[in-house]
Amino acid sequence: MQDVRGKMTDEVLRQIKSLELNVAQTSAPLTKRRMRDSFSEVYICLGSDKTLRLKYMTPSNVKRARFGRIMEDLDTMAGLICFRHNENIIRSQCVAFVTALVDRIEMHNCNLAVDEDIKLSGQVSWVGRTSLDIKMKVEQMKQGSWEHILDTRYLMVARDPVAGKGLPVNPLVIESAAEQAEFAQGEANQAKRRQEAEQSLFKTVPSDAERALIHHMFLQTIDPKAGTFKRIKPPGTIFMEETKLKNIILCHHEERNLYGKIFGGYLMRQAFELAWTNAFMYCRSLPEIETVDDIVFKQPVEIGSVLFLSSQTVYTQENKMLVYVHAEVVDPIKDIHISTNTFYFVFKAPLLEKVKPVIPKTYAGTYALTQPSRYISHY
């Protein structure tokens, strides 16, 4: 049976065909839309479809559903919601809705069963000139009622697929105090992103507290009695550089999106599964996802690209681990590396009270530890 991603893609294509898409690029007037105009629901029928269930089954626990698959479906869902919000625009011009970032995925229940139906729902909650905030949630049928699994926000951007420039999207009509609060949250998120960009360690020096942390980490890795700067690993810790785990992917046509690029949800699934494996190898116990923080899409990934995924455990606290994944495409002929994505995943080891602390050995390592601590509120 056709999977959820295929069904939602077919729905988008059906809407495009029904709206008689004209690629001649005549400008369309903008129309005010309500939040509920874009509301969408999709069901993943794992309870009845045993064939589909195999695609979602986790190899380490056959009763659990693969979280990476859900991330993939959410990305497709966000695109579908964008199309529904902008139906009038795509009547007269070709528009590509691309994922700019995943603001946060907040888990309410990590126990995602593989044999019960799952519901994805969401709508547009904020719009800018060319961007849209898509608020979505995932629920699962358990004992006759829908149980809340997660909440997330995706920032999508409308672009001309040929010229690559941004295209205006329909504005929102606010109909209630609740919707006003949602819209205000979108505005606050935008302001927060700008502030975080300005506070990046690529632009600003470490604060006094961060410098103190860096110096403390340094003192932990030298022997003061030796009178040298030779680095030593403190007992019961792991050097950050020892936590690296990598993957190389050749990007094929079957993973393309509607616009001939590699599907963003596929990249998220690959990054998540690498990060999960990293956390598993780090703590030597089955980890559970707790939060996904700041997935950033910097550049599209072309079909045929050689994609490098590099993961590293960069922070630990009690039984939790923060795993960073960096994606880049490589041109082997020209020897060019282009950064395309960054991902942060927070895992916990539920069977352990504490995992070994990770210790940076280099200044780059202290950066990897300090940078996320500036904005990841979970820690």
Q: Where are the beta strands (DSSP E) in 93-187?
A: 96-107, 118-127, 131-142, 145-159, 172-173
pLDDT number for residue 240: 86
User: What pLDDT was estimated at residue 180?
Assistant: 92
Q: What are phi and psi of 289, to 5 degrees?
A: -75, 135
For the chain, which ranges sit under pLDDT 70?
A: 1-28, 91-92, 195-207, 210, 220-221, 223-230, 362-379
Q: Is the separation of the CB atoms in 309 and 342 below 8 Å?
A: no
Instruction: Report yes or no: 269 and 329 within 8 Å, Cβ to Cβ.
Output: no
pLDDT at 324: 93
pLDDT computed for residue 226 by the predictor: 65
Taken in order 148, 153, 158, 161, is the CA torsion positive or negative?
negative
pTM (predicted TM-score): 0.83
Q: What pLDDT was estimated at residue 56?
A: 92
Residue range 177-207, pLDDT digits in tens: 999 998 988 888 888 777 666 666 556 666 6
What are 358's strand-pairing partners? Answer: 238
How far is C-alpha 269 from the geometric centre of its chain's CA atoms? Answer: 9
d(CA 150, CA 31): 31
What one-character DSSP code corresponds to residue 213? H
Of 71, 47, 57, nearest in space to 289 by CA: 71
